[in-house]
Structure 1
């Protein structure tokens, strides 16, 4: 994706955030937020577009197009700069705290003089928020937890940020003379949700050309340490990247060594030690003679240890060693297994592309079936009506005539109300092919109430999938509190699938809860929740999360043939 698109989208999103702080028009703020998503996902580099071309971006009208033209000409947006000058930087920093809204951040500044996260933390601990209008005991607890979430995130980035950076580096270095092999390793290869630094591994007989090309990349802001075996740099985004170069004959051992978690690697080294061997990044050696045993491929290394090759996403010492020994490693689901997408949006609600474009993109992906699931009316801000959703259904029927190899399913994303109810009555719901139900409000209900809410939704005969179940936003919103064992038992009993939402800031269900749900016999759906064509590329992150949860294709309903999927959808009690 063009860097200009990302920068401009960030500025438009910041404009929305700044207007939220100053009490701007809610409709205009939502328009900016929607435009920011469209700009980030636009396939053309916006820096090459004139005003007419900018206006062709979905949801970008005359006013926003002029702001983008301003960005193209000056590198910034004047209105953003003006609002920045009006609002203290500390207040803007406070808005990054999960659970703290922009208006409350402004109140804290105006009433208490709080203008930094550190000052807010101190104010909370001293009880200074008590008695402040709009701030109760629950607000204080939420802010304390939000600060904790923010500090836990630290300088880590979401997996997609790290993956796109690593992909670019690998692509840039692949053709350097002497480069035999190159890939990313570490926690990114294990598809962790957040990444602290990026590890890139290469094989070459002469590491110097690779190291020189690496440090000369435009994204490098600072060389932290250099050498023939390892060079570390700080990128312009602040992320550290380590490039390690090993001899080609050591490739397999190095890839195994630099991929596994510390706990996994300790286990494999212990196995080697008990066999009179020594395992390092250069190979598996005989402890007595120092003679090399194997090193060229990961498969050879694991085989010599008496284990089958273990998929990178399982290398966390979470039972994979025992499963490997006993022949119980699962055949993990892959992106190639996915036949359909059961949760996507169009510009009828908060998507940025029209129905026709989203369907065409689904067909281009080679999907066998594809569901449109725009928001239902209880999410009032999306302005859905019965008439709009029924008109969409008719348009889908017309479009279906144009697509022989793609079955278009008409669905909706329902809202799970605080009591577990959903939008529309049973008769109206019966007209849909597939229904996803999600929590979009009242995130702070207590455990008992939230559990009843999910169980009631699962027991609804028209709800097929629970969307992004924990409702978390990684680094910005804590997961809801529920008795997940009770929820998963209800989902298994009622034949309700749990979603794995592919958005990098969701990845929801997370891997630990996937494994927990799997024990109850729950089925899953890996969905992009795409609001733009560009979001389809997030599938890799949802699949990676599913793999970390040990899922096989049989566990995932949208890997199934359409007739089996329809049977599952029709068998709700």
Structure 2
């Protein structure tokens, strides 16, 4: 079932946003934001904790703990409801527009009485914002782009949210008598960045027991449609889940059909026609006789068409059919192939757990190595110092091999400054095992400046990995505008890996840019960017994105043995002995 921690995190984040919108204390808003993040990343279910245990969570004080307890007990928080009542829902929706923010949304409401996203778009086209301070032509363009992002993501949920709901539903239905098979399909099985709805398939002789159980599940807030073959429900968060029950002997064809994508399925059906066959969700049939040829497994369906089984993450009609026919389909990266995680944080900066706790959790995943990469000093709010990072290095050396023999690497996440410079001089950086470098500010520089900035970071002798390269936050912030082909060429030339950041709100690089970067010969690192032990599990989403970009074990540096990885990380030492 969904974790209470996630609900509480969303509640506290909304409270922090509303404090900002209403012009409240910025420090109070920041405190609630930090508490939200701490609770979301806490490993224990907060609904099972008493007040004393709640207050042991970092950044959760007396006031926050009281509100959490109140919400868990009653389902609401009066202080939050009071703020909600003061601000029209449309204004709250406006704060979700990337590049706008709560202060500007409130200014628009107070000065121009704009109270919805649609009214804001109309006002921009009518040039009504021009007289307000800070609202120039460039700002209007950015807001319109942000509105487009918001609207394109409307009705869609992050990959991890959809996965959690789908796995709960599958687990409950799989336990029912008569269930021969059960799984989710659709865009979720293909590991798309966001999911519009969840498709669940059950193979069983009788559908009625499953439909009945489905509409009575705790996740069900509304029954959209109910039938013998298909039932749809909507969760409390607005996610639609569709259940289809198919005969067991049609399982393979149905799973292939409902996994999609539409474009992939059209290609497969065209191939079937070429073979004198017809493919539907019920099976592969001989066109002349109407006889069903195969249908029980996906492997059978693809094999009859002269294809290997095509992993769901590749089914987007991006050449996978042609590659399969030619015997050139790559073996995609598997989660079990990853030998370590090269981008994680501890409570030395903005993480929620100590180094030893993070290392133990990484070792429990079977990793051969694990890197801690806390923020460097130019991200000022993290208050990093030379002394702190050197003390951590000593701790890393003491803990090395102490958790099931796992090697612990000491790294840092550097900040790529506006001119492409990074924290710390070369002689200091030489002491790290690896350096990740990421953009954390100045996202709106022009294209040439951002390109030079990223290229210069790739050319730095001690930068091994460019972290979350586009800086995007799905549905909230667009990626930076840079010439990424030039960046990719620089990374390939200098031996700098590009990160596939597995945080579900990032998934950065995305699959389309991975495909482009791979053609340049770039290497990649699939990292969790974990800020707590529970975030280490995000790796599955990074691997899904890497698969969609056709990455193999050889492309991904943290799928390599440590000796090969260390040779790769010596990039800077070759030019700076």
Q: TM-score, normalised by structure 1?
A: 0.97
308-317 or 7-16, which moves further after superposition? 7-16
Q: Give 1:155's aligned residue.
A: 155
Given that 2:178 and 2:205 are in contact with CA atoms closer than 8 Å, whether structure 1 keeps it comes out as yes
Partner of 2:267: 267
Alignment of 1:535-550 (within 5 A): 535-550=535-550
2:531 pairs with 1:520: no
Give the superposition deviation at 1:18: 1.9
Deviation for aligned residue 1:288:
1.1
Deviation (angstroms), 1:525: 0.3
Are residues 432 and 22 of structure 1, via their aligned partners in 2, closer, same or farther at CA, if it must alter by over 3 Å? farther
Cα drift, residue 152 of structure 1:
0.7
1:308-351 per-residue CA deviation (whole Å, 9 max, x = no partner) reads 11111111110001100111100100110011001111112111
Output the CA distance in 2 between the equivalents of 1:506 and 1:558.
Answer: 19
Structure-to-structure mapping, 1:185-200, within 5 angstroms:
185-200=185-200
Contact 2:31–2:59 under 8 Å retained in 1: yes
Q: CA RMSD in A?
A: 1.4
In the aligned structure 1, how far is the partner of 2:26 from the partner of 2:351? 18
Q: For 1:403 and 1:533, how far apart are their aligned partners in 2?
A: 15
| Aligned equivalent of 2:560 | 560
Between the aligned partners of 1:80 and 1:250, the Cα distance in structure 2 is 50
1:90 alignment partner in structure 2 = 90
SS in 1 for 2:367: coil
- 2:209 aligned with 1:209: yes
Q: Is this contact kept in 2: 1:35–1:352, CA < 8 A? A: no
Match of 1:380?
380
User: Match of 2:323?
Assistant: 323
Against the structure 1 CA distance between its residues 456 and 38, is the aligned structure 2 distance closer, same or farther, given a 3 Å change threshold?
same
Change (3 A) 1:367 1:424: same
Contact 2:333–2:553 at 8 Å: present in 1 too? Answer: yes
CA distance in structure 1 between the aligned counterparts of 2:383 and 2:61, rounded to whole angstroms = 19
Q: Deviation at 1:198? A: 0.6
Query: Alpha-carbon deviations, 1:203-260, whole Å to 9, x = none?
Result: 0111111111111112112222222221122222211111111111111111111112
Distance apart, 1:118 and its partner CA: 1.1
Shift of 1:88: 3.7
How many Å separate the matches in 1 of 2:391 and 2:408? 15
Is contact 2:467–2:501 with CA below 8 Å preserved after alignment?
yes
Indicate the residue corresponding to 1:359 in structure 2: 359
Q: Which runs of 4+ in 1 moved over 6 A?
A: none
The residue aligned with 1:142 is 142
In 2 relative to 1, CA 275–402 (structure 1 residues): closer, same or farther, beyond 3 Å?
closer
Equivalence for 1:424: 424
**Residue 26 and residue 566 in structure 1: after superposition, are their counterparts in 2 closer, same or farther (change >3 A)?**
farther
Classify the secondary structure of the residue corresponding to 2:279.
Answer: strand
- In structure 2, the CA distance between the partners of 1:83 and 1:509, relative to structure 1 (3 Å rule), is same
Find the aligned partners of 1:193 and 1:449 in 2 and give their Cα distance: 28
Tell me the residue number matched to 1:61: 61
Contact 1:422–1:437 (8 Å) recurs in 2: yes
Determine helix, strand or coil for the equivalent of 2:278.
strand
Within a 5 Å distance, the mapping from 1:99-178 to structure 2 comes to 99-178=99-178
Q: Distance in 2 between matches of 1:506 and 1:188?
A: 16
In structure 1, the partner of 2:391 is 391
SS of the residue corresponding to residue 259 of structure 2 reads coil
- Give the whole-Å Cα distance in 1 for the aligned partners of 2:439 and 2:567: 26
Matched residue pairs, number?
Answer: 573
Using a 3 Å threshold, how does the CA distance of structure 1 residues 67 and 137 change in structure 2: closer, same or farther? Answer: same
For the 8 Å contact 1:59–1:352, the answer to whether it is kept is: no
1:351 and 1:532 in contact (8 A); partners too: yes
- C-alpha distance in 2 between matches for 1:379 and 1:58: 20
Do the aligned residues in 2 keep the contact of 1:34 with 1:350 (CA within 8 Å)?
no
For residues 49 and 403 of structure 1, the distance between their equivalents in structure 2, rounded to whole angstroms, comes to 29
Q: Structure 2 vs 1, CA of residues 387 and 82 (structure 1 numbering), >3 Å: closer, same or farther?
A: farther
SS state of the match for residue 427, structure 1?
helix
Normalised by the size of structure 2, how large is the TM-score?
0.97
Give unpaired runs (5+ residues) of structure 2: none
Aligned to 2:500: 500
How many angstroms does 1:401 deviate by? 5.9
Q: Is 1:46 the equivalent of 2:46?
A: yes
CA shift, 1:458, in A, is: 0.3
Alignment of structure 1 residues 237-386 onto 2, 5 Å: 237-386=237-386
**Paired residue secondary structure (2:363):** helix
Kindly indicate whether the alpha-carbon contact (under 8 Å) linking 1:295 and 1:301 is maintained by their aligned counterparts in 2: yes
Task: Report if the CA contact (8 A) 2:2-2:164 is conserved.
Answer: no
Structure 1: 5+ residue stretches without partners: none
Q: What displacement does 1:23 show?
A: 4.0
The question of whether the paired residues in 1 share the 8 Å contact of 2:526 and 2:556 is answered with yes
* Distance in 1 separating the partners of 2:190 and 2:86: 44
Name the SS of the counterpart of 1:290 in structure 2.
coil
In structure 2, the residue matched to 1:489 is: 489
Asked if the contact 1:11–1:76 (Cα under 8 Å) also holds between the matched residues in 2, the reply is no
Q: Give the direction of change, closer, same or farther, for the CA distance of 1:235–1:391 in structure 2 (3 Å limit).
A: same
1:159–1:504 Cα contact (<8 Å) kept: yes
Instruction: Give 3-state SS (helix, strand or coil) of 1:258's partner.
Output: helix
Alignment partner, residue 551 of structure 2: 551
What residue is the counterpart of 1:442 in the other structure?
Answer: 442
> Contact between 1:98 and 1:149, CA under 8 Å: does it hold in 2?
yes
What is the Cα deviation at residue 404 of structure 1?
Answer: 4.8
